[in-house]
Amino acid sequence: MSTTDVIKSTENKNVHYVKQYIKNVLQQEPGDTVTVKGWVKTKRASKGIQFIQLSDGSCFTDLQIVIDASKFEENLLKEISTGCSLLVEGTLVESPAAGQKVELSATDIEIVGSAPVEDYPLQKKGATFEFLREIAHLRCRTNTFGAVNRIRSKASWAIHQFFNERGFHYVNTPIITASDCEGAGEMFYVSNSLAVENGEYKLKNKNPQEDFFAKPAYLTVSGQLEGETLACGLTNVYTFGPTFRAENSNSARHLAEFWMIEPEMAFCNLEGDMALATEFIQYVIKYALDNCSDDIEFFNKRIEPGILETLEHVVNSDFEHVSYTDAIKYLENSGEKFEYPIHWGADLQSEHERWLTEKKIGKPVIVYNYPKEIKAFYMRLNDDNKTVAAMDVLVPKIGEIIGGSQREERHNVLVQRIKEQNLEEEAYWWYLDLRKFGTVPHAGFGLGLERLIMYITGMKNIRDVIPYYRCPRNADF
């Protein structure tokens, strides 16, 4: 059978997008006739009966297809193998297997696309996550990555719902920008002056003024600065978009491209910011618990035993608030041997964050009021002149999941902070304007979506919670 023949034979049944998902079929009654479409996860045969596990990604459980081999062409049954796509019609019958009410007794089977056994890379169960990263284009067909993608989708939906219910406007801030929000210089340039000739980069012109944007431009590291301008007019806003950081990090919690959610609230201070961050995380986790229970059960069994209990606990308990100064005291008196020495003024490293939230507190912690030297220029200076109104939410196993602050709304103080950090005042003219015209106390934070998904699923590497990961030396697919 050629590929064209196969496509022709299913043409009439494939005219519209799928509306009958396996998720719904599994809830139907014995006796119902249904048509399902999906990919074969496994196939086994026993005494003239063949069993196929079919998945369309709509839910964790596969639909079991039961085939009476005597009723089908031998060649057709032979061609069905792991990975091939099928259209199956049949009648639902009561399933003797545990965990599912019904299975499908096939009356008609069409192979939509075959998957030659000798070539299909996902033959065996138990492939390592490292191996699956090399076939990222196929890994969503596995149990783990199906579940990760479903939770990511549901969490994203919950995020929009959370803000929508609270009157926040969803705003889109630019992906190409001329300002470095975090001042960390970890930006990818955006230029049309660069070309590849004979395998080498060639600069078409050296003068930024002659480049596409007539100045150096970058992929944004955060939508915050523009978000602030929108909050100072729309009151409560949030962004939800991709952000980019050229940090040369191969850690299990950093990506070069990740998705960030950044609410920004006018007439709000640090306390309000921390309260919203807590409510937000609890809401999204509760939504996942209520709407992705099968997937979370899988993570609880196979990936991170105890994750279910942890999540239920997080939803129902307050987050601990600890000032940076107190956090340093705890760390200094911990008796632990840290790789990075700790003292007042030092930035908290992942090992410190994890000790605080895992060992000292045992639940999410919000650390606030950090030294101004280690935080971005836009954070509001506290009266002690030494710390800024910053806050980071830390969670066990991951460390920082949210970073936020009250913003400096006083024009003169902000100018001073820009100078102190050796930033170009002129570049921030529009940002400073906000402090000239109707300035208000305001605050916001950024949540890394991938870190949240790691937290909910217990997945240990951030590269496994986004369909295609970007990190040093990886922009394949």
User: Which residues contact ligand 4AD (rule: CB under 6 A)?
Assistant: 181-182, 222, 224, 245, 247, 254-255, 258, 260, 262, 400-405, 444-448, 450-451
Least separation in angstroms between residue 390's CB and ligand 4AD is 9
Per-residue burial over 377-399, b if 16 or more Cβ lie within 10 Å, else e, is bbbbbbeeeebbbbbbbbbbebb
Q: In the sheet that 399-406 helps form, which strands lie side by side, from edge to edge?
A: 169-170, 236-244, 257-266, 442-448, 399-406, 387-395, 365-371, 320-323
Instruction: Compute the distance between CA of residue 244 and CA of residue 91 in angstroms, rounded to an integer.
Output: 50
Task: Pick the closer one to Mg ion by CB: 38 or 403.
Answer: 403
Window of 185-193, 383-391, 398-406, 408-416 that interacts with Mg ion by CB under 5 A: 398-406
Task: Pick the closer one to ligand 4AD by CB: 179 or 405.
Answer: 405
Q: Which residue is nearest to Mg ion (CB)?
A: 403
Least separation in angstroms between residue 91's CB and ligand 4AD is 48
Radius of gyration of the chain from Cα atoms? 27
Asked whether position 448 contacts Mg ion by CB under 5 A, the answer is: no
Task: Pick the closer one to Mg ion by CB: 392 or 464.
Answer: 392
Which residues lie across from 169 on neighbouring strands? Answer: 237
Task: Pick the closer one to ligand 4AD by CB: 88 or 452.
Answer: 452
Least separation in angstroms between residue 136's CB and ligand 4AD is 17
Q: Which residues, numbered 115-174, are part of the site for Mg ion (CB under 5 A)?
A: none
- Give residues with Cβ within 8 angstroms of 408, minimum separation 6: 377, 378, 379, 380, 381, 414, 417, 435
Least separation in angstroms between residue 446's CB and ligand 4AD is 3
Look at residue 177 and give the partner it binds from Mg ion, ligand 4AD, none, a contact being a CB closer than 5 to 8 Å depending on partner kind.
none
Q: What is the DSSP track for 268-285? A: --HHHHHHHHHHHHHHHH
Asked whether position 403 contacts Mg ion by CB under 5 A, the answer is: yes
Task: Pick the closer one to ligand 4AD by CB: 262 or 408.
Answer: 262
Look at residue 136 and give the partner it binds from Mg ion, ligand 4AD, none, a contact being a CB closer than 5 to 8 Å depending on partner kind.
none
Least separation in angstroms between residue 248's CB and ligand 4AD is 11
C-beta atoms surrounding 405 within 10 Å: 24
> Where is 94: in which H helix or E strand?
strand 85-94
Task: Pick the closer one to Mg ion by CB: 403 or 441.
Answer: 403
Instruction: Compute the distance between CA of residue 331 and CA of residue 342 in angstroms, rounded to an integer.
Output: 7
Look at residue 152 and give the partner it binds from ligand 4AD, Mg ion, none, a contact being a CB closer than 5 to 8 Å depending on partner kind.
none
Least separation in angstroms between residue 86's CB and ligand 4AD is 38
Q: Which residue is nearest to ligand 4AD (CB)?
A: 403
Token readout for 117 is 């056994």
Look at residue 254 and give the partner it binds from ligand 4AD, Mg ion, none, a contact being a CB closer than 5 to 8 Å depending on partner kind.
ligand 4AD
Look at residue 380 and give the partner it binds from Mg ion, ligand 4AD, none, a contact being a CB closer than 5 to 8 Å depending on partner kind.
none
Q: Pick from 433, 431, 424, 435: which is nearest to 215 by CA?
A: 424
Least separation in angstroms between residue 375's CB and ligand 4AD is 9
Least separation in angstroms between residue 77's CB and ligand 4AD is 46
Intra-chain end-to-end CA distance of the chain, in Å = 30
Task: Pick the closer one to ligand 4AD by CB: 1 or 374.
Answer: 374
> Where is 451: in which H helix or E strand?
helix 449-457
Q: Give the Å distances, CA to CA, from 62 to 35, 56, 100, 101, 103.
A: 15, 8, 9, 12, 10
Residues engaged in binding Mg ion (CB under 5 A): 403
